[in-house]
Structure 1
Amino acid sequence: MVPSIISMNRLCCITFFLSVSDSFLPLLKTQTKTPSFSLQASSAKEAWRSTKWLLLVDDEASIRQAVGRLLHEKGYQVTACASGEAALQVVVDEPQVPDVIVSDVRMPGGMDGLEFLQKIRQNERLVAVPVVLLTAKGQTRDRIAGYEAACDAYLTKPFDPDELVSLVDAVLQRQEDTAGNVSLEELQKDLQEIKQLLLEHGGGGVGNGWVQATQVFLAPDERQVLEYLCQGLKNKEIAERVFLSTRRVEQLMTSMFRKTQTKNRTELVRWAVSTGTVQLS
């Protein structure tokens, strides 16, 4: 759960939610309302979001309130801060780590979004937290610098409200898919099930609907991470074996998800074994 209230005066941080008027929506594109889909599905999504703490960083009060209200109404627990310095103080003082950070890039008069991102990536507790950066249209240099500093996604202002929510959902889902927050016993059970399925399918899954992508090139570091993944190791354990940061291991795994058209660790292991990329002992 998100910290109940953060009252920091000088640091100008507050946990949502405040009631603000629609006039505080200058950077959100207007949109026409469309019929909502299944209320049950919507409730399930909002319930999932309600377990996530989102840290929002923007130096403009109206933007903090508008974006904060939007995300809170969609279910997220939101803490909004007026600067990178304030946001860092929040995560340093709180024992809990935010699930995702959304930060503006241009924040004159103090630490900007890129400097803030660098601080996050240098902190052992925060290195794996997904970060979405908001930038003005045409700021290509900012986007390049952000990706070099390992941001997870960019969104250009003005943006559609649903696009922001979908982007935050996506980076969080990807984080869950790559986090490997399961026990070693569960991982080993998955591997045993895959071995059994291989035997039932005559030793391979190609041509039996197991895999979509068969002609895939994996870089040497991706292949090395995949081999350890197939041994049932968690991301932190893999990082120690290959002398990379946990964050880098997650990035490599995300890249392999995309290349192999898989959605999670189990599917990736199944792909690796059924294509012969990795041999299970």
Structure 2
Amino acid sequence: MAARVLLVDDEPGIREAVQAYLQDDGFTVEVASDAQEGWDKLQQMRPDLVITDLMMPRVDGYQFLRQMREDDRFKALPVVFLTARGMTSDRIQGYQAGCDAYLSKPFDPDELVTIIQNLLKRRAAVVNELQGGETTDISTMARQIEEIRNLLVQRPSMVQSSSAVKIDLTPREQSVLNLVAKGLMNKEIARELDTSVRNVEKYVSRLFSKTGTNSRTELVRYALEHGLVTD
């Protein structure tokens, strides 16, 4: 899946040029003309990375970044500042505000692409480490966690409207399934069950096989619909 980028800039020429260049490099790009529109689209599309101009009317890039960092959903979201202000003091202020990269206009589009790729790789590596070495990409992982949370909200009606099925699960497979259904990833499950991440991966693979599913979201949906989650 292509990484999703939100570009916020009040200059139409910059928006069009950067959007076209990034799309040519395989990114999915949404644009906004100011921070308010950017905030609305941020919540709608849940991008993997944000690029924002600093000098914008009403709400500038610093205020926009502060708004993101105050929201738990976007605390770790990579943010790149684009600005015509390239003094060392300006860059320092940008990094102190919490941006991940600072690029002065005019800039080389190839440099921007490289910065984006590096930030996304770093974020994916951190998530991969936190999740115990799981290989799902960051956008897929985030989407699956959100979908699982939504499924948990729907759990009562899903169970009532579906018939139970009989699938033979070992006690350990049942424990792993219950924890997956709570939104835990492999490293967290390994900690809960006092076992290795490799063992958890084997149990999750067996659950996929027994239920005919291919992802954690599908597994949790199937388990909830058929009354397989026991706690």
Query: TM-score band, normalised by the shorter chain?
Result: 0.5 to 0.7
For 2:19, the aligned partner's letter is G
For residue 73 of structure 1, report the CA deviation from its aligned partner: 0.8
For residue 158 of structure 1, report the CA deviation from its aligned partner: 1.0
CA RMSD of aligned residues (A): 2.3
2:112 is aligned with 1:159: no
Identity %: 40
2:106 is aligned with 1:106: no
2:91 is aligned with 1:146: no
Pair 161,89 (structure 1): closer, same or farther in 2 beyond 3 Å: same
Pair 182,147 (structure 1): closer, same or farther in 2 beyond 3 Å: closer
CA contact (8 A) 1:105 1:142 kept: no
Cα-to-partner distance string for 1:181-228 (whole Å, 9 max, x where unaligned): 7645869xxxxxxxxxxxxxxxxxxxxxxxxxxxxxxxxxxxxxxxxx
CA–CA separation in structure 2 for the residues paired with 1:61 and 1:139? 24
For 1:139, the aligned partner's letter is M
Q: Which has the higher helix share?
A: 2
**Counterparts of residues 161-180 of structure 1 (less than 5 Å):** 161-180=109-128
Q: Which moved more, 1:163-172 or 1:132-141?
A: 132-141
For 1:138, the aligned partner's letter is G
Aligned residue for 2:47, secondary structure, equals coil
CA–CA separation in structure 2 for the residues paired with 1:142 and 1:183? 36
Pair 170,148 (structure 1): closer, same or farther in 2 beyond 3 Å: same
CA–CA separation in structure 1 for the residues paired with 2:103 and 2:81? 6
2:19 is aligned with 1:71: no
Q: Which residue pairs with 2:69 in the alignment?
A: 121
CA contact (8 A) 1:135 1:157 kept: yes
For 2:53, the aligned partner's letter is D
Q: Which residue pairs with 1:91 in the alignment?
A: 42
CA–CA separation in structure 2 for the residues paired with 1:183 and 1:151? 24
Which consecutive segments of 4 or more residues in structure 1 shift more than 2 A? 137-142, 180-187
Cα-to-partner distance string for 1:120-166 (whole Å, 9 max, x where unaligned): 11111111110010122533333222211211011111111111111
For 2:100, the aligned partner's letter is D
Could you tell me the TM-score, scaled by structure 2's length?
0.55
For residue 90 of structure 1, report the CA deviation from its aligned partner: 1.4
Could you tell me the TM-score, scaled by structure 1's length?
0.45
Cα-to-partner distance string for 1:54-83 (whole Å, 9 max, x where unaligned): 000000111100111111111100001000
CA–CA separation in structure 2 for the residues paired with 1:175 and 1:185? 13
CA contact (8 A) 1:106 1:112 kept: yes
CA–CA separation in structure 1 for the residues paired with 2:117 and 2:133? 28
Tell me the number of residue pairs that the alignment of Structure 1 and Structure 2 aligns. Answer: 138
CA contact (8 A) 1:114 1:145 kept: no
Aligned residue for 1:103, secondary structure, equals strand
For residue 179 of structure 1, report the CA deviation from its aligned partner: 1.7
